[in-house]
Chain A
Amino acid sequence: DGGITQSPKYLFRKEGQNVTLSCEQNLNHDAMYWYRQDPGQGLRLIYYSQIVNDFQKGDIAEGYSVSREKKESFPLTVTSAQKNPTAFYLCASSPTLEYWDTEAFFGQGTRLTVV
Protein backbone atom coordinates (compact mmCIF):
# COMPACT_ATOMS: atom_id res chain seq x y z
CA ASP A 1 0.00 0.00 0.00
CA GLY A 2 1.51 3.30 -1.09
CA GLY A 3 1.21 6.23 1.22
CA ILE A 4 2.66 8.62 3.75
CA THR A 5 3.32 7.49 7.31
CA GLN A 6 3.70 9.96 10.14
CA SER A 7 4.78 8.96 13.61
CA PRO A 8 4.03 9.23 16.39
CA LYS A 9 0.34 10.07 16.24
CA TYR A 10 0.52 11.94 19.58
CA LEU A 11 3.60 13.58 21.06
CA PHE A 12 4.10 15.45 24.30
CA ARG A 13 6.96 17.87 24.80
CA LYS A 14 8.27 19.47 27.92
CA GLU A 15 9.33 23.08 27.91
CA GLY A 16 12.86 23.48 26.54
CA GLN A 17 12.98 20.11 24.77
CA ASN A 18 13.58 19.40 21.12
CA VAL A 19 11.35 16.77 19.52
CA THR A 20 11.46 15.12 16.11
CA LEU A 21 8.44 14.16 14.04
CA SER A 22 8.86 11.40 11.50
CA CYS A 23 7.51 11.36 7.94
CA GLU A 24 8.11 8.51 5.50
CA GLN A 25 6.61 8.02 2.03
CA ASN A 26 6.74 5.11 -0.41
CA LEU A 27 5.10 6.93 -3.31
CA ASN A 28 8.44 7.68 -4.98
CA HIS A 29 7.63 11.39 -4.83
CA ASP A 30 10.45 13.90 -5.16
CA ALA A 31 8.79 16.72 -3.21
CA MET A 32 7.88 16.66 0.48
CA TYR A 33 6.34 19.26 2.77
CA TRP A 34 5.59 20.05 6.41
CA TYR A 35 2.49 22.02 7.37
CA ARG A 36 1.17 23.23 10.69
CA GLN A 37 -2.57 23.40 11.41
CA ASP A 38 -4.10 25.44 14.23
CA PRO A 39 -7.81 25.50 15.10
CA GLY A 40 -9.84 27.70 12.77
CA GLN A 41 -6.87 28.44 10.53
CA GLY A 42 -5.73 27.11 7.21
CA LEU A 43 -2.60 25.04 6.91
CA ARG A 44 0.67 27.00 7.01
CA LEU A 45 3.83 25.80 5.31
CA ILE A 46 6.87 25.24 7.54
CA TYR A 47 9.46 23.70 5.18
CA TYR A 48 9.47 21.97 1.83
CA SER A 49 11.95 19.95 -0.19
CA GLN A 50 11.92 19.35 -3.93
CA ILE A 51 14.89 17.00 -4.01
CA VAL A 52 17.19 15.05 -1.72
CA ASN A 53 19.71 17.18 0.22
CA ASP A 54 17.83 20.38 -0.56
CA PHE A 55 15.04 22.14 1.32
CA GLN A 56 13.49 25.60 1.53
CA LYS A 57 11.87 27.62 4.30
CA GLY A 58 8.14 28.10 4.15
CA ASP A 59 6.10 30.86 5.73
CA ILE A 60 6.68 29.91 9.39
CA ALA A 61 10.11 28.19 9.56
CA GLU A 62 11.38 29.90 12.74
CA GLY A 63 11.91 27.39 15.54
CA TYR A 64 11.88 24.37 13.21
CA SER A 65 14.53 22.40 11.34
CA VAL A 66 14.44 19.61 8.75
CA SER A 67 16.72 17.26 6.86
CA ARG A 68 16.31 15.38 3.60
CA GLU A 69 19.01 12.70 3.41
CA LYS A 70 16.79 10.13 1.72
CA LYS A 71 14.07 10.53 -0.89
CA GLU A 72 11.49 8.75 1.24
CA SER A 73 12.13 10.54 4.54
CA PHE A 74 11.66 14.15 5.69
CA PRO A 75 11.85 14.47 9.50
CA LEU A 76 10.87 17.70 11.25
CA THR A 77 12.51 18.84 14.49
CA VAL A 78 10.61 21.27 16.69
CA THR A 79 13.25 23.10 18.68
CA SER A 80 13.02 24.87 22.02
CA ALA A 81 13.11 28.14 20.06
CA GLN A 82 9.57 27.50 18.83
CA LYS A 83 7.52 29.40 21.41
CA ASN A 84 4.10 28.01 20.61
CA PRO A 85 4.59 24.48 19.28
CA THR A 86 1.24 22.99 20.31
CA ALA A 87 -0.48 22.19 17.01
CA PHE A 88 -1.38 19.49 14.51
CA TYR A 89 1.51 18.78 12.10
CA LEU A 90 0.91 17.38 8.65
CA CYS A 91 3.42 15.96 6.22
CA ALA A 92 2.70 15.83 2.48
CA SER A 93 4.37 14.74 -0.72
CA SER A 94 3.84 15.30 -4.41
CA PRO A 95 5.39 14.22 -7.69
CA THR A 96 7.30 16.87 -9.61
CA LEU A 97 5.49 16.40 -12.87
CA GLU A 98 4.15 19.27 -14.93
CA TYR A 99 3.35 22.10 -12.53
CA TRP A 100 -0.35 22.21 -13.33
CA ASP A 101 -0.71 18.50 -12.56
CA THR A 102 1.07 18.39 -9.21
CA GLU A 103 -1.26 16.80 -6.68
CA ALA A 104 -0.38 16.77 -2.98
CA PHE A 105 -0.99 13.74 -0.74
CA PHE A 106 -1.03 13.94 3.04
CA GLY A 107 -0.20 11.76 6.02
CA GLN A 108 -2.46 11.27 9.04
CA GLY A 109 -0.78 13.91 11.14
CA THR A 110 1.01 14.21 14.49
CA ARG A 111 -0.58 16.12 17.34
CA LEU A 112 2.09 17.83 19.43
CA THR A 113 1.26 19.14 22.89
CA VAL A 114 3.52 21.07 25.24
CA VAL A 115 3.15 19.97 28.86
Chain B
Amino acid sequence: KQEVTQIPAALSVPEGENLVLNCSFTDSAIYNLQWFRQDPGKGLTSLLLIQSSQREQTSGRLNASLDKSSGRSTLYIAASQPGDSATYLCAVMPTDSWGKLQFGAGTQVVVTP
Protein backbone atom coordinates (compact mmCIF):
# COMPACT_ATOMS: atom_id res chain seq x y z
CA LYS B 1 0.00 0.00 0.00
CA GLN B 2 1.23 3.46 -0.92
CA GLU B 3 2.38 5.55 2.06
CA VAL B 4 3.22 9.23 1.89
CA THR B 5 5.37 10.88 4.56
CA GLN B 6 6.20 14.51 5.18
CA ILE B 7 9.04 15.39 7.51
CA PRO B 8 9.27 17.59 9.51
CA ALA B 9 5.72 17.99 10.78
CA ALA B 10 6.43 21.63 11.64
CA LEU B 11 8.99 24.21 10.61
CA SER B 12 9.72 27.80 11.62
CA VAL B 13 11.98 30.12 9.63
CA PRO B 14 12.77 33.85 9.65
CA GLU B 15 11.45 35.94 6.80
CA GLY B 16 13.71 35.92 3.74
CA GLU B 17 15.06 32.41 4.21
CA ASN B 18 14.39 29.75 1.59
CA LEU B 19 11.96 27.01 2.58
CA VAL B 20 12.62 23.36 1.79
CA LEU B 21 9.75 20.93 2.30
CA ASN B 22 10.11 17.19 1.85
CA CYS B 23 7.70 14.50 0.70
CA SER B 24 8.50 10.81 0.36
CA PHE B 25 6.38 7.96 -1.00
CA THR B 26 6.88 4.21 -0.89
CA ASP B 27 5.66 3.12 -4.33
CA SER B 28 7.08 4.74 -7.46
CA ALA B 29 4.10 3.64 -9.60
CA ILE B 30 2.40 7.05 -9.70
CA TYR B 31 0.78 9.19 -12.39
CA ASN B 32 1.65 12.47 -10.74
CA LEU B 33 2.41 14.29 -7.49
CA GLN B 34 0.61 17.41 -6.37
CA TRP B 35 1.56 20.03 -3.76
CA PHE B 36 -1.15 21.91 -1.89
CA ARG B 37 -1.34 24.76 0.58
CA GLN B 38 -3.90 24.84 3.41
CA ASP B 39 -4.61 27.85 5.61
CA PRO B 40 -6.19 27.22 9.05
CA GLY B 41 -9.83 26.20 8.75
CA LYS B 42 -9.76 26.44 4.96
CA GLY B 43 -9.72 24.12 1.98
CA LEU B 44 -6.70 23.12 -0.08
CA THR B 45 -5.20 25.31 -2.77
CA SER B 46 -3.31 23.53 -5.54
CA LEU B 47 0.23 24.88 -5.93
CA LEU B 48 1.98 22.62 -8.41
CA LEU B 49 1.38 19.34 -10.20
CA ILE B 50 4.34 17.29 -11.45
CA GLN B 51 3.64 14.54 -13.95
CA SER B 52 5.50 11.28 -13.38
CA SER B 53 7.64 11.88 -16.47
CA GLN B 54 8.74 15.33 -15.28
CA ARG B 55 11.64 16.22 -12.99
CA GLU B 56 10.42 19.60 -11.80
CA GLN B 57 7.81 22.32 -12.07
CA THR B 58 8.10 26.03 -11.31
CA SER B 59 5.59 28.74 -10.50
CA GLY B 60 6.89 32.10 -9.33
CA ARG B 61 8.86 31.61 -6.09
CA LEU B 62 7.85 27.94 -5.95
CA ASN B 63 9.83 25.07 -7.43
CA ALA B 64 9.01 21.41 -6.96
CA SER B 65 11.24 18.52 -7.92
CA LEU B 66 10.37 14.86 -8.34
CA ASP B 67 12.68 11.84 -8.14
CA LYS B 68 10.29 8.99 -8.78
CA SER B 69 12.90 6.25 -8.53
CA SER B 70 13.86 7.24 -5.00
CA GLY B 71 10.30 8.16 -4.01
CA ARG B 72 10.98 11.79 -3.16
CA SER B 73 9.69 15.24 -3.94
CA THR B 74 10.90 18.55 -2.61
CA LEU B 75 9.08 21.87 -2.61
CA TYR B 76 11.31 24.95 -2.53
CA ILE B 77 9.90 28.36 -1.65
CA ALA B 78 12.37 31.15 -2.30
CA ALA B 79 12.68 34.23 -0.09
CA SER B 80 9.92 33.26 2.33
CA GLN B 81 7.36 35.82 3.53
CA PRO B 82 5.00 35.82 6.54
CA GLY B 83 2.17 35.21 4.06
CA ASP B 84 3.73 31.84 3.25
CA SER B 85 2.77 30.62 6.73
CA ALA B 86 0.41 27.66 6.20
CA THR B 87 0.35 23.87 6.11
CA TYR B 88 1.76 22.32 2.96
CA LEU B 89 0.55 18.89 1.84
CA CYS B 90 1.74 16.60 -0.90
CA ALA B 91 -0.33 13.90 -2.57
CA VAL B 92 0.40 11.19 -5.13
CA MET B 93 -1.96 9.53 -7.59
CA PRO B 94 -1.12 5.80 -7.77
CA THR B 95 -1.34 4.09 -11.15
CA ASP B 96 -3.33 1.19 -9.71
CA SER B 97 -6.13 3.38 -8.32
CA TRP B 98 -6.88 6.39 -10.49
CA GLY B 99 -8.44 9.29 -8.66
CA LYS B 100 -7.55 8.00 -5.20
CA LEU B 101 -4.99 10.56 -4.13
CA GLN B 102 -2.81 9.47 -1.21
CA PHE B 103 -1.91 12.38 1.07
CA GLY B 104 0.87 13.06 3.50
CA ALA B 105 -0.02 14.56 6.89
CA GLY B 106 1.52 17.91 5.95
CA THR B 107 4.23 20.26 7.15
CA GLN B 108 3.09 23.28 9.16
CA VAL B 109 5.22 26.30 8.26
CA VAL B 110 5.59 29.52 10.23
CA VAL B 111 7.55 32.41 8.72
CA THR B 112 8.46 34.98 11.39
CA PRO B 113 8.90 38.67 10.48
Contact = CB atoms under 8 A, between A and B. Distances in A.
Interface stretch (A12-20, A35-43, A63-71, A78-86): A35-43
A99 B99 CA distance: 9
Interface in B64-82: none
B99 A107 contact: no
Interface residues of A, number: 30
Contacts of B9: 40
Given A42-B4, A103-B34, A104-B101, A109 B52 contact: no
Contacts of A6: 43
A50 B99 contact: yes
Nearest to A49: B99
Interface in B14-67: 31-32, 34, 36, 41-46, 49, 51-53
Given A42-B4, A105-B46, A109-B42, 4 more contacts: A4-B43, A94-B99, A99-B95, A109-B41
